[in-house]
Chain A
Amino acid sequence: MAVVSTRAGRLGNRIAIAAVIVVTLIFLSPIYWITSTAFKPLVLATSVPPTVVFEPSITPFVKLFTKRAQLTTPVDPAVYEAAPWWEKLVLDGGERLSRDGRGEVVFSAYPDRFANSLIIAVTSTLLAVSLGTITAYGFSRFRVKGEADLLFFILSTRMLPPVVVAIPMFLMYRAVGLNDTHIGLIILYTAFNVSFAVWLMKGFIDEIPKEYEEAALVDGYTRMQAFFKIVLPEAATGIAATAVFCFITAWNEYAFALILSNRRAQTAPPFIPSQVGTGLQDWTVIAAGTVLFLLPVAIFTFLLRNHLLRGMSFGAIRK
């Protein structure tokens, strides 16, 4: 298309940019809301109308990582003076930190649940993407009997809303002892993502000319070596895009995590809201937990952003 640099064209551009800004703001507003709440004092968290200007504090984050109890009597000034600055923040709010027998601060379950989320999401993403890539390669390069039917079958596992199978899954997992285990959730998320990974990767691998591998075969490499040396680097963009999607799905999954895990293997999504109702409803702590929870996906996506952009426009440019 020719570049039209008329006044109307520039005006059109500006309107488009303005529209993009408005849409972006709308999408970012919940994130602003949750982030600002995470830095608010408790009294401002639920104020109506919402407070926009306030003095940010990291008290909610201190609370997020600790166990606390309501102060019943005013705190002893000597104890207050001796406390580190972050403990003072809690004491100011009328709570004291729980300590174990040796006087050490007791951590909340949040770090463990966050680690569970990381372990489960990363492992299931690695598995889903690897299995998906190998399967897609097979479908793309070899004459597979009933290829179309098999691909349809793989996709059909995604046609049911997953929650429909929640109860059977729960019973099955209980029977085989997979309830509340990391392995259990990893298997589930891998199974859930692999169909998607196969389809996405097949599209990407189909676009890689098979001549590259055949040249490698003739040049003295085995099919396996050609796959790792030629196909994988070529498919990097697709792998990155697929990995981001799988990671986001596994990271954000709520319903199955709620049903199939409760302590040891519980992930962050069911844990964060479970904080509501222990003591008073401290929305700032929930917000702090949510903000930290958003970071891994944001970082992961940011790191892969170049691949992603190319991945999204792959078909559009080549076709």
Chain B
Amino acid sequence: MANIQLRNITKTFGTHTALKDLSLEVADGEFFVLLGQTGAGKTTTLRVVAGLEKPDSGQVFINGQDVNDWGAAERDVALVLQQYSLYPRYTVRENLAFPLKSPIRKTPQAEIDAQIARVAKTLRIEHLLDRKTDRLSGGEMQRVSIGRAIVRKPRLFLMDEPLSALDAKLREVLRTELKSLQVNLGATFLFVTHDQVEAMSMGDKIGVLTDGRLVQVGTPYEIYNSPVNTFVARAVGSPPMNLIDGQVSGDAASAIGARLPLGAGKAGAGEGRPLLFGVRPEDLHLQSGAPVAARVQDIENHGVEKIITLRVEDKFFHATVPKQANLEVNEDVRFTWDPEKVIFFDASSGMNLAHSAA
């Protein structure tokens, strides 16, 4: 097992800078998720760690050792990709045996058989062992890919959106399996995804990547409740956080034509400058007599809850309400927010004031 450290990694392709001065630490046994949009530099980060791509500057440490001059084979990491990682001419068994048979491992046949049996059992792919890989379904393929990664007990697992090509049901199943696999192995995972639900549900820690920069690293709780800026705030959570223009006046907030309450001690921060108040949909509450008047624009039923879209003049906000709530489209309602949960962002820079003060 291993910890990894990236120090000031910069990587350019031609004129395009894919990673800008990226520093990152993953502790031993941690499930670290890199979350970012397509093109953010997630794959490049993994390739740099795997040794498939050489950074222009900066260093990669595995267990404290600078591995910049090590080839991919020597780094002893496993890589699972979204697709294409299985050898099409081989059977599942041959695919699983491939890493063990490599010249740097030269595993004896008995050991290979034992390992394949163990992995096949863990991943429930025993019945597929003698099948050619092009005869597998997407879910089976990804199981085998994961099998090929765990069969040789690498120091580190790198996963590049391994679930994103699967349909929603299967994705959920494999999500759970992968997470419990990681816990059982006690392995270090660096897992890449653009899916915030995946990130929130699997990660011990999340790193939010945009444009080749790491904007925030934290536990899912920290990322969700204390985003460093409006970008992170809207990158996690569905529907995304509401951002409301306004400013602090006195001990309340004045925004969308109303005065909204603020938690004790909160009002002082950000007094006298344009702000964005960030409120999660679950922290907007519908109440009669509440300060803001709105009209119900849309209602989405999500089983345990409903997501409603509220319209205030030409602005739209999301709120979640229990499924029993009796609402109709175009109904006039009033709402307020949870004064303790409001986050203050600087309107021009988008930075969370609580973070920039600290």
The majority secondary structure among interface residues of chain A is helix
Q: Which of B57-89 contact A (CB under 8 A)?
A: 71-73, 75-79, 81, 83-85, 87-89
B residues adjacent to A (C-beta < 8 A): 50-52, 71-73, 75-79, 81, 83-85, 87-89, 98-99, 102-105, 148, 152
A: contact size bracket: 10 to 19
Name the segment of A44-52, A85-93, A114-122, A215-223 touching the other chain: A215-223
Q: Which of A212, A214, A219, A230 is B102 in contact with, Cβ under 8 Å? A: A219
Look across to chain A and name the residue whose beta carbon is closest to the beta carbon of B104.
Answer: A220
Which residue of the partner chain A has the closest CB to B47? A214
Chain A, 83-107, CB within 8 A of any chain B CB = none
Which A residues lie at the B interface, using CB under 8 A? 209, 211-212, 214-222, 225, 230, 233-234
Q: Which of A215, A222, A230, A234 contacts B79 (CB 8 A)?
A: A215
Q: How far is the CA of A215 from the CA of B78 in the complex (A)?
A: 9
Q: Are B98 and A216 in contact (CB under 8 A)?
A: yes
Complex-state Cα separation, A274 to B320, whole angstroms: 94
**Complex contact A234–B98 (CB within 8 A):** no
Min CB distance A132 to B, Å, is 22
Query: Count the A-B residue pairs with Cβ separation under 8 angstroms: how many?
Result: 61
Closest to B160 in A: A211
| Contact in complex: B84, A220 (CB < 8 Å) | no
State the CA gap A218–B85 with chains docked (Å). 11
Residues of A within 8 A of B85 (CB): 211-212, 215
Q: Which residues of A contact B72 (CB under 8 A)?
A: 214, 217-218
Q: Which residues of B contact A214 (CB under 8 A)?
A: 50, 52, 72, 79
A218 touches B104 (CB 8 A): no
| Complex contact B81–A211 (CB within 8 A) | yes
Q: Known contacts A209-B84, A211-B84, A212-B84: does B89 contact A221 (CB below 8 Å)?
A: no
Closest chain A CB from B76 CB (angstroms): 8
Which residues of the partner chain A approach B84 to less than 8 Å between Cβ atoms?
209, 211-212
CA distance A219 to B148 in the complex (A): 9
A217 touches B148 (CB 8 A): no
Which chain A residue has the least Cβ–Cβ distance from B105?
Answer: A220
**A267 CB, min distance to chain B CBs, angstroms:** 37
